[in-house]
Homo-oligomer: A and B are copies of this chain.
Amino acid sequence: MTERVSAWALDGIPEIEPGADLAQLIGDAIVSDGGGCLDGDILIVTSKIVSKAEGRIVEASDREDAITAETVRVVATRAFEGGVTRIVENRLGIVGAAAGVDASNTADGTVLLLPVDPDASARGLTAALRARFGVRLGVIVSDTLGRAWRIGQTDVAIGAAGVQVVDDLRGSTDAQGRPLNVTVPVVADELAGLGDLVKGKASGRPVAVVRGMGRLVTDEVDTPGARTLPRTGPTDMFRLGTDEAYRLGLAGEKLE
């Protein structure tokens, strides 16, 4: 039995203002788009519009200062011609450049911070849209993130509700009957990436619908969210950049 997945970006989401009822606007766009949600649909919502609705726009003459304010821990920095790249952990545990501070698609002199609690944002959207459409659906709040050892970025899940974030294969077996116990596919990140493929970056279409992955949608709204996805702390083999760790050692300082 082959699952057929389809995905598309919704037209008709207006520019989001602080205080906007995002669930209402997304629901209206779904209705305009063709008549509603099916059971098992997953919505991929760009974090930027969640932030805007939640009023996370702050004045910042300097984006770098805003990044500093959102940073819990600096992992690595590297000067390059024209600036400094800082890889930092933000308060959501996400490690990346710029701490989720976004200065694109915002008014000059302002930056957009990530939602305070993207899993809670996803739960709110999920509950409201399930009530409106009377079906089980899931919501993933996505953001664009770089990664170590590979160029560029992909979209990943920073918030989730009503949908499994990992496809837990522990207990399953491969075609030879041996346990597949090492692999933990992070389906929430793959769904966020699919959202990016259909939304694009410059399109003004911040919400995608993914249809046909209902096996990942849960009865409950309140599921282990994207907050479970970052790996930080003692099991993180890259909690400090190479140069930073080396310099600590050279100076005889203690490594946390």
- A101 at interface, CB cutoff 8 A: no
How many of chain A's residues have a CB under 8 angstroms from any CB in B? 85
Contact B151 A229 (CB under 8 A): yes
Q: How far is the CA of A194 from the CA of B189 in the complex (A)?
A: 10
Using a CB-CB cutoff of 8 Å, which residues 168-216 of chain A contact chain B?
169, 172-176, 178, 180, 183-187, 189-191, 193-194, 196-198, 200-202, 204-205, 213
A245 / chain B contacts, CB cutoff of 8 Å: 240-246, 249
A87 / chain B contacts, CB cutoff of 8 Å: 237
Contact A183 B144 (CB under 8 A): yes
- A132 at interface, CB cutoff 8 A: no
Q: How far is the CA of A1 from the CA of B185 in the complex (A)?
A: 32
A186 / chain B contacts, CB cutoff of 8 Å: 150-154
Q: How far is the CA of A249 from the CA of B186 in the complex (A)?
A: 35
- A10, A107, A186, A249: residue with the most chain B Cβ atoms closer than 10 Å: A249
A5 / chain B contacts, CB cutoff of 8 Å: 6-8, 194, 197-198
> Considering the complex of A and B, which 5 residue pairs feature the smallest CB-CB distances, nearest first?
A249-B249, A190-B193, A152-B184, A95-B149, A245-B245
